[in-house]
Amino acid sequence: MSWRWGLGQANLLKSSILVVGAGGLGAPALLYFAASGVGKLGIVDHDKVELNNMHRQIIHTEAYIGQPKVKSAAAACRSVNSSIEVVEHQEALRTSNALEIFSKYDIIVDATDNAPTRYMISDCCVVLGKPLVSGAAVGLEGQLTIYNHNGGPCYRCLFPTPPPRTACQSCADAGVLGVVPGIIGCLQALEAIKIAASVGEPLSGRMLLFDALSARIRIVKIRGRSMQCEACGENSTFNQQYFREFDYEKFTQTPLCVFWLSLRPIMKLIFESRISSKEYSEIILNKEPHVLVDVRPAHHFKIVSLPNSLNIPFSTLESRLPEISSILKKDEEEKDAVSESSAPPLYVVCRRGNDSQRAVQYLHKMGFNSAKDIVGGVESWAQNVDPNFPTY
Amino acid sequence: MVETYRGGLELLCDSKKIHNVNVEFEQQNGEDKLTMKGLLSWVRTNLIKERPEMFMKGDTVRPGVLVLVNDCDWELSGQLNTSLEEKDVVVFISTLHGG
């Protein structure tokens, strides 16, 4: 190492870094922070280790499945380097605890997986004046930049208005090749270590775009700090008090935690237009005529699907309405002509029961009054009806 | 002119990420320069195959989409008024949130 780094290592040992999220991005970053000798390393996460995390969250091992990610990650960091201080924050990041946690660290690393948390972390860093190393990865692409550092922009300067909810994909839903967040997480570690050690040129005012499929890395120039920014602009009124009271879920129209989606459906339908997976299994058992539409994306449907279901991904529903009409009509004609002439019931299923509710609401609007959604989607089917049904 | 779509936006135009396009536009008010505004309306008509609302809002891109002209944030070159020339590279990139 060059003489310049000698001082860098001493700086690193004196520094403190907080990693928010011990998932696909946080896993490699934390390991490198521990190995490189960051003096104090904090980890925030509320989640538990699951088997389906393993392909990307390489800090966790099978032995920790079911245990808190923070505990698993902290143990891994300590086993790499016993001389550093590792602090466990086993809680979800909220406006009520973020200021207190962040204020104990020099540098914040955003390794989370959703839009509201990203706005919250950026705003908190602005309020406290902390540099933020922000990374993201979905599918085969990754993005990386540093916010709120050396006069550079904050997250809100770049994205003053939150994107529509339908444009936000999480790794858990959209899928990601494990090594992609791994690479971005490593680059986050690199940038944070550079800031901590005061060496080199930080990736501030620039953004790194990584495209794994074509093996291309592009570094682009992004705008500087915006004087009109609501958070860091000249006339900003964003302070600690305002931050504590800011409703990020409402602002981005997204629950702070993906898991909540299954508990707090965004659109609640009237009770009559929903059935449980158990009730649906009885319909199959009794061979009641019906049509089942699965609105998950085609690649989900290919993994596993319910018997006799028709895949019409939610995004294509509008254009494929005629298809549903003709199937319902055909089934109607096949029925005994003398019996009731109403169309057979139409059921809609998705992964967890959110898109299916949206689909049913839309179908009702378009005149498909018999449409009902299966509560909790195929996950509920696996949990309550068929334990052998694979989940993903 | 080359256009690239990343961060999932390519799904809106036949899953093709890179489009080499030759934009023919009508001269307006005697101006013979193509601007980003003109390009966006051309893209909307000619390239976007589904859900245009995932790409545009009003006459500009929807929130959460970064526009880069020759690797530079269009905010630095005048946004919709950025004038374009032959062989310019325009990238539309949707911000990612996953991790």
A330 and A274 Cβ atoms separated by less than 8 Å: no
Look at the block and give the residue holding tokens 């004038």: B83
The nearest alpha carbon in chain B to A143 belongs to B96
Q: How confident is the model at residue B6 (pLDDT cuts 50, 70, 90)?
A: low
Q: What is the dihedral angle through the alpha carbons of A113, A118, A121, A125, rounded to the nearest 10 degrees?
A: 130
**pLDDT at residue A262 in the model:** 37
In 3-state terms, what secondary structure has residue A41?
strand
List chain B domain ranges: 2-94
Q: Is B89 on the interface with A (CB under 8 A)?
A: no
Nearest alpha-carbon partner for A110 in A101, A100, A118: A118
CA separation for the pair A108, A148 (Å, rounded): 11
Pair type for strands B60-61 and B56-57: antiparallel
Look at the block and give the residue holding tokens 């299916």: A356
Residue B48 structure tokens: 């976007």
Number of residues that make up chain B: 99
CA separation for the pair A14, A92 (Å, rounded): 27
**pLDDT at residue A193 in the model:** 97
Q: Find the helix or strand (DSSP H, E) in which A261 lies.
A: helix A260-263
Using the beta-carbon criterion (under 8 Å), do B7 and A141 form an inter-chain contact? yes
ipTM of the complex: 0.85
> What region, left, alpha or beta, does residue B97 occupy, with left being phi > 0 and alpha being psi -120 to 50 degrees?
alpha
Mean pLDDT per 10-residue section of chain A, whose length is 392 residues: 71 96 96 97 95 92 95 97 97 95 97 93 96 94 96 94 74 78 97 95 96 92 93 91 92 63 39 81 88 93 91 90 85 56 82 89 84 90 89 84
In SS3 terms, A315-367 reads as: HHCHHHHHHHHHHHHHHHHHCCCCCCCCCCCEEEECCCCCHHHHHHHHHHHCC
Q: Is B96 on the interface with A (CB under 8 A)?
A: yes
Number of residues that make up chain A: 392
In the beta sheet, which residues pair with residue A133? A109, A146
**Superfamily assignment of A271-385 in CATH?**
Rhodanese-like domain (3.40.250.10)
- The CA-atom distances, in angstroms, between A234 and each of A100, A157, A237, B16 are 25, 12, 9, 41
Using the beta-carbon criterion (under 8 Å), do B63 and A138 form an inter-chain contact? no
Using the beta-carbon criterion (under 8 Å), do A164 and B68 form an inter-chain contact? no
CA separation for the pair B34, B25 (Å, rounded): 7
CA separation for the pair A207, A229 (Å, rounded): 19
Residues 6+ apart with CB under 8 A from A38: A12, A13, A15, A16, A17, A84, A193, A196
What's the mean per-residue pLDDT of chain B?
81
- The CA-atom distances, in angstroms, between A164 and each of A7, A173, A321, A362, B30 are 46, 16, 24, 18, 38
Q: Is A27 on the interface with B (CB under 8 A)?
A: no
**pLDDT at residue A338 in the model:** 44
Residue B70 to chain A, least CA–CA distance (Å): 9
List chain A domain ranges: 5-252, 271-385
Report the alpha-carbon angle B9-B10-B15, nearest 5: 145
User: What is the pTM for the complete model shown?
Assistant: 0.73
Nearest alpha-carbon partner for A368 in A333, A336, A320: A320
Chosen for mutation from A69, A112, A169, A257 (greatest number of chain B CBs closer than 10 Å) is A169
Residue A16 to chain B, least CA–CA distance (Å): 22
- The CA-atom distances, in angstroms, between A2 and each of A6, A7, A198, A199, A321 are 7, 10, 14, 12, 66
CATH number attached to the domain at A5-252: 3.40.50.720
Over residues B65-78, mean pLDDT? 92
Residue A350 annotated to the active site: yes
Facing residue for A111 by CB, picked from B75, B96, B99: B99
**pLDDT at residue A37 in the model:** 95
Name residue A21's amino acid.
G
Facing residue for A221 by CB, picked from B76, B97, B98: B76
Q: Which of residues 362-391 of A touch B (CB under 8 A)?
A: none
All residues of chain B having their beta carbon less than 8 Å from the beta carbon of residue A140 are: none
- The CA-atom distances, in angstroms, between A152 and each of A149, A156, A163, A226 are 5, 12, 22, 9
B2-94 fold: Ubiquitin-like (UB roll) (3.10.20)
